[in-house]
Structure 1
Amino acid sequence: MDYKLRKMNCMKLYTKLFCIILVVSTSCKKQLELPPENILIESQVVGNPISAEALLASSYFKTYVAIRNYYYMSADLATGNSMALATNGFVSLWNGTLIPTSNLIQTLWNNHYSAINEANVIINLIPYATFSQSVKTRLIAEAKFVRALNYFILLRDFGSGALTGNLSGPGVPLQLLHYSNYDPSKNIARSTSLEVYTQILKDLNEAAEVLTDLTTATPQVFRGRAQKTTCLALASRVALYMRDYSKAVSYSAQALTNNTQYVLASSPALVFPSTTATSNIPLNAELIFAIPVSYNSDIADNNLTGYFLKTAIWPNPAFLATYSPNDIRNSSLMMVVGNPTGPATRVTPSKFANPLGRDHLPIIRLSEIYLNRAEALVRSTNSINTEAISLLNSIRQRSFPVGRKPTPFNLASFASVNDLINAILRERQWELAFESHDMFDKIRTGIAPNSFLTNPNKWVYPIPRREIDLTNGLITQNPGY
């Protein structure tokens, strides 16, 4: 494989994972043929910068595998922003019928911990490598971002009380060492949600301290892997979810300092241009972190198109009706698609409309950081905050064409602090629709996502039964399952 050719875009990073697959396959053979003391696969992988970079690529790729498809879409399906065919096999993710033996949650759990394990290999073993210290420092920092992102998603999905303010409740097992061999004595229990949140922010802080925002990278490389601002932006979301609003204010302020490489688009339509062409679409400057999908790489289908474009999943007309008239997010960013077996008038978001599945997968956008900061400012000061109103106006005003913009909000627009918070949350629902946010925004603000999930115990997934059995009950089940 020619890695120099792959470096034409960020997908060169992900395609290196095949080197890892080859190495791991060789490792399996070695485990059969050689005594344990001769198995040095992890140290071999991190022994030189090329294979270490490939392992980092694999951890990014496994993160992508863990969050795509119905796991990404379920946050909007749960709240009714989207609708799905009743025959879809993943409806249990949001209708309260998940059981601990479900393959859906076992796969989710396995995929995230697989990505974490590879990040742990880098974090724990690369310090002993003999190549450039600057390269080692960057690889470790990016691996800490990968670990933090995966633990954040696991905690959000499985942590009892993690989104509702009960941070003393059981989170997820906080495994910071890489896997070497199965040893039951090394099994660990679930850490508290606070302990997991603390580790997530520790990883992000340490990564942000050493990473910079690359100035020479192409958009696919720059926005497809962790930079300094990426870490700070994710930290602002983490702090918001854990209800540490002062920290959310601080992190969002730091994330917004780079206004050269991260720029709010003048229109949402520019962030998600038409992807029906057969060429690569550059990542817009508003995207802080996204999984780039390329025509000349091995990652060529984020699978959302297979649901949205074919209308197995579609925006709920009732939700679309909540947008104000002339809102670009309900006009330019929606398109009618044909489906021989479905309604001809069904629409789909143009965010995921490429017929070959070459749509990028947005994870963090600058507009979210504006809204993170706006909400955190209001909650931390308990006031109708003028900066928060300005940030809210920035997102709302750009969503309408010239000559049809609504009157900007001002202090007199809100009778109470709650009115302003509700306006920010409403804008967040419109702005980040179909990007895997809404269910978690509902839960963290104490709102049941839907009529099936009125019991707060069902706001998190059950711990996979296999994990409980393998640890002889050391890992405990969530209440209600």
Structure 2
Amino acid sequence: MASSACSEFLKEDPESLMVAENFYKTEANADAAVVSVYDGLNDQWNIYYRGIYLLAELTTDNAECGQGVANSNIFALNDYTHGPVNDRIYTLYTAVYKSIASANVAIDKIPLIAFNETKKNRLVAEARFVRALLYFNMVRLFSDVPLVLHQVTSLEDVNTPRSPVEEVYAQIIDDLEFAEQNLDKTNTSANLGRATQSSATGLLAKVYLTRKEYQKAKEKATQVLDDTQFGLLESYFDIFTPTNRFNKELIFAIQNKGNTGAANGFGMALFLPRATIKLAGGGTVAGNSADVPTQEFYDSFASGDLRRDRTFFTQYDAGAGVATFRPHWYKFFDPSAITNLGEGTLNYPVIRYSDILLTYAEAINKLEGPTADALEAVNQVRRRAFGKPITQPDASIDLAGLNAETFDEAILQERRWEFGFEDHRWFDLVRTGKLISTMRAKGNTAIQDYHVLFPIPQRERDVNKNLTQNDQYPQ
């Protein structure tokens, strides 16, 4: 009897196992697979926001290590003494490929399921959009990277070599063009937070700008700017208000929903002041002061620029009196989660309408110089920043009388003030060829010309002998 009972207990029921062979059967399975793809982007400690933050903000003049940093690998990124053995670079690299793998499975499996073809193509397009976004970050951070496009099913598929930059970009563009054709045109209550056609078009504009294909960048940016469901909010402050986390400025954003107890909120501890802000019920806000802006960045804002006091804060009253402190990031702070800092309710923007306006202006300037249209695109962003009517010319704020070179510099500066803590700065400095000169001018003596790329993690090269290393890093 005992033997029989044991045998029945150990008997496997294949239908109860959640594996690819018996999961991708229904439309509901396809929906769940794409939700899982988006969930990969929400891996905020490893990808958005902090994973990329450590490479795209901390390594620039926008940010520095605060008192809460204890990891020597983070200090190495800040100081430009990092190399292939760096756990933060490795963590981002592997997390991105894990998310790419999730997208690849969805892309491979969903077409085999029998349900409505339009919806099927839309779900595949969402997975391809996410894959394109991830590869766009990777190719800019590392240059040549392994281009994995299908589910890995054997050991022979594991040791993929790095693909040339041109092949990676060709795939990014192909994925985004498919997404443009098959994503939903608009967001409704049924698909909030999902990528739309303009998400793909906006990302294509940024891809073409990075590749210096300025005519295509201008055309794609124009398509987004003509999409009336998106636009600038009148108040910069309101973009980042938890109660307004779905707004017309967000062309694509990473979704966070806090105060649910399900660990889906925006994690705030690393960027809030450490044991400084007193709580009304006793104790202090459990911030760590790890990820902090530079004083120079805080001081760089012109008088009257309202973005400064939405990007940073230097004082706060949580109910037990005003606390003052050095500048800390404020943009993604959610007061409702003051006692539970993992439950912030703010979405993390990847593409905003102002980003497309500035992309449009930069592309035109490269093609034709500072035309009236290009200046107007930047000036709308500036007017909003200073609390002026967005479409009404204002000589006290508007840029004028610039040549192509000085307008380029003005756009770069405008992007710095507009997108602080949104992981744009390193990419912008590299794209414009200004990373090395900017960092040296601000006192970083360790930075070298090869630091326009990050090293391939050594642990990846130890496993995959086909991976080469970027020039000048230890081989």
- Alignment TM-score, normalising by the size of structure 1: 0.81
Kindly state the Cα deviation for residue 377 of structure 1 after the two structures are TM-superposed: 0.8
1:19 aligned residue: none
Aligned CA distance change for structure 1 residues 204 and 453 (closer, same or farther; 3 Å): farther
Offset from partner CA, 1:230-277 (integer Å, 9 cap, x none): 111111111111222122111111122212x2121112112123x5xx
Which letter maps to 1:172?
Answer: V
Structure 2, unaligned runs of 5 or more: 1-9, 274-286
1:76 aligned residue: 57
1:14 aligned residue: none
Which letter maps to 1:101?
Answer: V
Tell me, in whole angstroms, the C-alpha distance in 2 between the residues paired with 1:422 and 1:460: 22
1:428 aligned residue: 415
1:296 aligns with 2:274: no
Structure 1 residue corresponding to 2:460, chosen from 467, 474, 478 = 467
- SS of the counterpart of 1:131? coil
Kindly state the Cα deviation for residue 333 of structure 1 after the two structures are TM-superposed: 4.5
2:375 aligned residue: 389
1:213/1:227 contact within 8 Å kept = yes
1:441 aligns with 2:404: no
Structure 2 residue corresponding to 1:117, chosen from 89, 92, 101 = 101
- SS of the counterpart of 1:201? helix
Tell me, in whole angstroms, the C-alpha distance in 1 between the residues paired with 2:395 and 2:301: 12
Kindly state the Cα deviation for residue 435 of structure 1 after the two structures are TM-superposed: 0.6
2:298/2:312 contact within 8 Å kept = no
Structure 2 residue corresponding to 1:177, chosen from 128, 150, 170 = 150
Tell me, in whole angstroms, the C-alpha distance in 2 between the residues paired with 1:94 and 1:197: 28
1:58 aligns with 2:58: no
Aligned CA distance change for structure 1 residues 44 and 326 (closer, same or farther; 3 Å): same
Tell me, in whole angstroms, the C-alpha distance in 1 between the residues paired with 2:460 and 2:255: 32
Kindly state the Cα deviation for residue 213 of structure 1 after the two structures are TM-superposed: 2.2
Tell me, in whole angstroms, the C-alpha distance in 2 between the residues paired with 1:101 and 1:321: 34
Tell me, in whole angstroms, the C-alpha distance in 1 between the residues paired with 2:23 and 2:213: 39
- SS of the counterpart of 1:125? helix
Kindly state the Cα deviation for residue 315 of structure 1 after the two structures are TM-superposed: 2.6
Which letter maps to 1:265?
Answer: L
1:476 aligned residue: 468
Structure 2 residue corresponding to 1:246, chosen from 208, 212, 215 = 215
1:210 aligned residue: 182
1:163 aligned residue: none
**1:9-408 → structure 2 map (5 Å cutoff):** 41-65=19-43, 66-74=46-54, 75-85=56-66, 87-89=69-71, 90-159=74-143, 171-183=144-156, 187-217=159-189, 221-222=191-192, 224-259=193-228, 261-273=229-241, 275=242, 280-294=243-257, 295-296=259-260, 298-309=262-273, 310=287, 311-337=289-315, 344-354=324-334, 355=338, 356=341, 357-381=344-368, 383-402=369-388, 407-408=396-397
Aligned CA distance change for structure 1 residues 406 and 81 (closer, same or farther; 3 Å): farther
Tell me, in whole angstroms, the C-alpha distance in 2 between the residues paired with 1:33 and 1:158: 44
2:108/2:151 contact within 8 Å kept = yes
Tell me, in whole angstroms, the C-alpha distance in 2 between the residues paired with 1:71 and 1:150: 12
1:453/1:459 contact within 8 Å kept = no
- Alignment TM-score, normalising by the size of structure 2: 0.82
Structure 1, unaligned runs of 5 or more: 1-29, 160-170
2:304/2:386 contact within 8 Å kept = yes
Aligned CA distance change for structure 1 residues 408 and 330 (closer, same or farther; 3 Å): closer
Offset from partner CA, 1:394-424 (integer Å, 9 cap, x none): 000111134996624365x21x210111111
2:306/2:385 contact within 8 Å kept = yes
Tell me, in whole angstroms, the C-alpha distance in 2 between the residues paired with 1:212 and 1:359: 23
Tell me, in whole angstroms, the C-alpha distance in 2 between the residues paired with 1:104 and 1:444: 23
1:72/1:435 contact within 8 Å kept = no
- SS of the counterpart of 1:100? coil
Which deviates more, 129-138 or 74-83?
A: 74-83
Identity between Structure 1 and Structure 2 (%): 31
- SS of the counterpart of 2:80? coil
Aligned CA distance change for structure 1 residues 83 and 344 (closer, same or farther; 3 Å): farther
Aligned CA distance change for structure 1 residues 91 and 338 (closer, same or farther; 3 Å): farther
The count of corresponding residues between Structure 1 and Structure 2 is: 422
Aligned CA distance change for structure 1 residues 256 and 458 (closer, same or farther; 3 Å): same
Which letter maps to 2:303?
Answer: P
Larger radius of gyration: 2
Tell me, in whole angstroms, the C-alpha distance in 2 between the residues paired with 1:150 and 1:317: 31
- SS of the counterpart of 1:114? helix
Aligned CA distance change for structure 1 residues 113 and 306 (closer, same or farther; 3 Å): same
Which letter maps to 1:465?
Answer: Q
1:262/1:285 contact within 8 Å kept = yes
Cα RMSD of the aligned pairs, angstroms, is 2.8
Aligned CA distance change for structure 1 residues 142 and 389 (closer, same or farther; 3 Å): same
Kindly state the Cα deviation for residue 443 of structure 1 after the two structures are TM-superposed: 1.2
